[in-house]
Every structure is written in C-alpha cells, then in structure tokens.
Amino acid sequence: MKRLAIPVIVLGVILLSTGIALGCVWNAGCWLTGGGLKLEPAVNMRLAERGAKQTFGGNIYPGCSPEAGAGGQWNHVDHYQKIHFQGWTVQEVNCGYDGSIGPSSTSPDTPFNFIEARGTGTIKGIQGNKFPEGTVNVNFFLRAEDLNEPGNQKANAANGGVLIDRYYLHVWDSDGLTYLLIDTDNAAGTVDPVTITGGNLQLHVSSCP
C-alpha cells in the first residue's frame, strides 16, 4: 500500500498525512490492543515483537472517546537504537476494511482488518543511550493490520492460516526529523507495514453508541 504524504494541520499542529482522513477523526467502529508473551523490561509490559530487538504494544481508542485516556497509549522499544517511544495522546483514528490485504479480523469477529492512528508522544534513550536531546516531543502515525489469530509467525503452523498481522510506525519531530520508522522499504512517504514475529495485534468492535 503506497500513498503520497501531504502536510495537513491537525489540532493546530503540522503533521504528516499518510493517507487517513484529514482533520480530527474519531471512527467509533473499532479499537486496538497490541501485546504478547515477551516481558519488555524497559516498560515492564508484555509486548508484541518484530524480531528480537523491536517490541511494541498498548491500546488505541479503548474508551470510545478522545478524552478517555487521551485516546489510548502506545509503547515501542527499539533495542537497536536504544530508544523508547511512548504515544501519549491519540488525535485521529480511522478503522476500515481492505480486501486486498486479507479477510476481516476474527476472535473477536469484526468487519475491519486495519486501524490507523496519529497523535503525539515522547521519545528518549534507554540502556545507556544518553540521547543528547534528552526527552523529545514527537508526532506519530501508526497502522496495525489484524489478519489472523494468532497474529504472529505461529500462524504459519499447521491449521494456522497463511496471513500474519502487520505493523507500521513513523515517529518524527516538529522539524520533520524521523526518529523511528518501522516500514518494509524504509521510506517514510509510503505506508508499507512489516509482519510481526511475536504477540498479536487485535481489533475489537467498539461498544460506543
């Protein structure tokens, strides 16, 4: 899935659009949880993973409102760069179904197979990384695709199906400097999610009225 990036203004902050609807969008149709069996010491949480060095998880839009828990929280720990990103405020959410990537999600059943979210957060160094900038305020855009149960490479086992959950994350500062990019071709201007290797990305139908 490749889409050109264009600048837009969301809540007075210049962000980078990667294809979701412009402005403040709160699609009440779904919400996301991400996690796994691996305990990540940096956050003391069990997170999903992409290889041994990238762990991630949290929730997006769990309370049917941008005011509930600031719309969710997301963690991503990059042990290659020794940095920890935390998404503190989710400003925009879009749930949808794309038949070209797979069926709608199951367990629980939903009519969706992806969620996209953008917001703001912080990034800092860990494990001895002094990170000269200290703690940096950043923007982020995330896409999660719930394509199987379980969502990781165990889905390739007998009777496990053929699809694996996929994940994209771009984190950048107010000057447009990219600090973290999880993407198949390492091009920030397109959205090309990677397959996860552990844990699960799970969509839920919202109970919002």
pLDDT in tens, 182-203: 999 999 889 999 988 888 899 9
Give the pLDDT of residue 191: 95
Is a pLDDT exceeding 70 seen at residue 143?
yes
pLDDT digits (tens, 9 = 90+) for 82-133: 999 999 988 888 889 999 998 888 878 889 999 999 999 999 999 889 887 8
- For residues 59 and 45, is the Cβ–Cβ distance under 8 A? no
Nearest residue to 148 via CA among 106, 120, 115, 193: 106
Domain range annotation of the chain: 25-205
DSSP state at residue 198: B
CA-to-CA distance for 139 and 79, rounded, in angstroms?
A: 20
